[in-house]
């Protein structure tokens, strides 16, 4: 257990603010040095009553549900491995295999229309409405393969394009425009029968679920995001190798990194930072549990929290004095979006039974990442008209339309009888305002329309709410067209010196030039700042 709150005032050589991946990585790296194992040398302050930050899990009916990060984006190669691969305590991970895609269905909505909007009924009272037979709804494997072999190569080629063009050009090019001009996207329409063009129109918005960033204004959570993400989002030098799902969850990784810190009593929970006064040395950190001082302070608070403190409506200043202009500009210029999950937990995995397995067999196709699909799909991809979407047409025009809904079969991955649907950006904020039953109703009705019959209702529905979380205000960062530049991430890597020996540093995924929005980016940023502190001690 991390230690409970102790004295009101403490002085340390280093204070690390935040016990997410970057904060724990920084503190653990320092703790490897004998000096920082001495008394009053190191302390980690965490506002939550747990460690992990945006990595977390809940337990429902005895099953672990990962509510935050799940993926390792590139396991790396033998010569350049992803550093997470050396930390994984269990090393159970795999690529997602088979997927089944459903065409848009003609449905009669089961929602009740009111003058002030639509009220989604709880799942146990659903009237699923009239749906077409499932034989018309599953996209056949051969057709789905054409779509699959367009979407993933499209994303790969967008990364290649982003790497080739000058940075200023990528920063001014919307991702939506880049997709519209993409050869793989255009060629797909030539290969697909006309009846599948509508489904292909909606495919590009899958990028929103990957990046937690909007393609256009209608998906934006905040006005600053209205231009949508830029092509610069893909201008990174990331790790090669498979994109894999971490089957034992990131909590095991967090516990592994935090273990020596917890054993030494260096993590203090329930301690929210209210003010960082860096004008004198030592730097003073005011919290709800009193004041702390340190020569070095490493701020790992999420970008969403920093942005919230810089809002004109913020009750009081968070930094005293205000941060240098380059840091303020960086905080305001980067995007920060939300990716939420609607988790439906059942008493058994009904999708492994007939008639559902028969339905799936018609459309099961292997993803580009896996040699062979499983007998049952690892994921389902379909559409809903209950959430706002974007359709990008063959001629490059974009219109409001259907929203794609990506659902992961957790039973195949973690042996949990659950399905996990992903919602992002403005849709995530909309879903967070609903009850769990209302949000689950959207997924249940989507499944009903895809399958041509109502599946069993879930025993439990759990909805994540990262945008409403006061200690994150979202999920991870992105690049906004015409506003975000690489220099804004790099700006965080320059420490703030107060001229009296005090140093304020920043870590977190948003401070990583090439690994932002990823767990290993947070890990590497924590190591970076720890190494900077250690290098200063040797100088």
The 10s digit of each residue's pLDDT in 229-275 is 999 999 988 899 888 999 999 999 999 999 999 999 999 999 999 99
Q: Quick one: what percent of the chain has pLDDT higher than 70?
A: 91
Tokens representing residue 263 in the block: 């054993």
Axis crossing angle, helix 141-164 with helix 183-191, rounded to the nearest 10: 160
Tokens representing residue 233 in the block: 């989002």
The mean pLDDT of 519-536, rounded to a whole number, is: 98
Domain limits, the chain: 10-56+249-335+474-538, 58-64+93-245+339-463
Please give the Cα distance from 321 to 448 (Å, whole number). 56
Q: Band the pLDDT of 106: cuts 50, 70, 90.
A: low
| Residue 363: Cβ within 10 Å count | 25
Tokens representing residue 212 in the block: 């937690």
* Secondary structure of residue 271 in the 3-state scheme: coil
Q: Band the pLDDT of 88: cuts 50, 70, 90.
A: confident
Above 60 in pLDDT, residue 411?
yes
Residue 477 has a pLDDT of 98
Q: Band the pLDDT of 113: cuts 50, 70, 90.
A: very low
Which residues on adjacent β-strands are paired with residue 76? Answer: 81
pLDDT: which is higher, 383 or 371: 383
Q: What angle do CA 129, 130, 133 make, to 5 degrees?
A: 135
Residue 110 has a pLDDT of 37
Residue 128 has a pLDDT of 38
Above 60 in pLDDT, residue 133?
no
Please give the Cα distance from 314 to 92 (Å, whole number). 43
Tokens representing residue 25 in the block: 């990585």
pTM over 0.95: no
Above 80 in pLDDT, residue 418?
yes
Above 80 in pLDDT, residue 525?
yes
First to last CA, the chain: 36
Please give the Cα distance from 363 to 345 (Å, whole number). 24
Architecture of the 10-56+249-335+474-538 domain: 3-Layer(bba) Sandwich (3.50)
Above 60 in pLDDT, residue 371?
no
Query: Cα 221 vs. chain centroid, distance in angstroms?
Result: 14
* Element (DSSP H or E) covering residue 149: helix 141-164
Residue 136 has a pLDDT of 65
Above 50 in pLDDT, residue 61?
yes
Task: Tell the residue number behind the tokens 């509508």, with chain if given.
Answer: 198
């Amino acid at each position: 257990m991390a230690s409970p709150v102790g004295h009101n005032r403490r002085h340390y050589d280093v204070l690390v603010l935040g016990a997410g991946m970057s904060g724990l990585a920084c503190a653990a790296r320092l703790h490897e040095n004998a000096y920082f194992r001495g008394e009053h040398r190191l302390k980690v302050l965490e506002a939550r009553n747990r460690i992990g930050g945006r990595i977390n899990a809940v337990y429902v009916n005895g099953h672990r549900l990962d509510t935050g990060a799940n993926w390792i984006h590139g396991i790396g190669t033998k010569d350049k491995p992803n550093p997470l691969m050396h930390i994984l305590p269990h090393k159970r991970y795999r690529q997602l295999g088979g997927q089944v895609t459903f065409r848009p269905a003609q449905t009669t909505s089961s929602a009740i229309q009111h003058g002030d909007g639509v009220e989604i009924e709880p799942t146990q009272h659903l009237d699923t409405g009239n749906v077409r037979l499932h034989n018309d709804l599953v996209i056949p494997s051969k057709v789905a393969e054409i779509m699959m072999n367009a979407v993933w190569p499209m994303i790969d080629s967008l990364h290649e394009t982003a790497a080739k063009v000058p940075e200023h050009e990528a920063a001014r090019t919307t991702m939506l425009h880049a997709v519209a001009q993409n050869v793989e996207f255009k060629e797909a329409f030539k290969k697909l029968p006309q009846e599948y063009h509508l489904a292909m129109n909606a495919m590009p918005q899958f990028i929103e679920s990957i990046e937690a960033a909007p393609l256009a204004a209608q998906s934006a959570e905040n006005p600053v995001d209205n231009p949508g993400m830029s092509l610069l989002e893909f201008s990174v030098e990331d790790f090669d190798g498979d994109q894999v799902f971490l089957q034992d969850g990131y909590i095991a990784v967090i516990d592994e990194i935090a273990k020596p810190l917890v054993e030494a009593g260096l993590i203090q929970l329930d301690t929210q930072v209210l003010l960082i006064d860096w004008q004198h040395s030592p730097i003073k950190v005011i919290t709800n549990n009193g004041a702390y001082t340190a020569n070095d302070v490493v701020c790992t608070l999420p970008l969403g929290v920093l942005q919230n403190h810089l809002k004109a409506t913020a009750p009081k200043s968070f930094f005293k004095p205000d941060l240098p202009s380059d840091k303020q500009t960086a905080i305001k210029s980067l995007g920060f979006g939300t990716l939420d999950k609607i988790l439906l937990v059942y008493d058994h995995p009904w999708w492994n039974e007939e008639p559902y397995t028969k339905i799936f067999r018609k459309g099961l196709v292997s993803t580009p990442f896996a040699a062979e699909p499983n007998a049952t799909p690892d994921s389902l991809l379909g559409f809903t008209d209950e959430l706002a979407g974007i359709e990008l047409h063959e001629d490059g025009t974009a219109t409001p339309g259907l929203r794609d809904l990506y659902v992961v079969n957790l039973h195949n991955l973690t042996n949990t009888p659950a399905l996990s649907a992903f919602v992002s950006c403005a849709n995530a904020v909309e879903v967070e305002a609903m009850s769990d039953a209302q949000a689950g109703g959207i997924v249940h009705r989507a499944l009903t329309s895809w399958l041509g019959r109502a599946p069993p209702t879930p025993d439990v529905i759990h909805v994540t709410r990262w945008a409403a979380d006061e200690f994150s205000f979202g999920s991870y960062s992105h690049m906004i067209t015409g506003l975000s530049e690489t220099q804004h991430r790099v700006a965080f890597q320059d420490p703030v010196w107060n001229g009296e020996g005090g140093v304020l540093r920043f870590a977190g995924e948003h401070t990583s030039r090439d690994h932002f929005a990823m767990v290993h980016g947070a890990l590497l940023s924590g190591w970076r700042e720890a190494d900077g502190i250690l290098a200063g001690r040797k100088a």
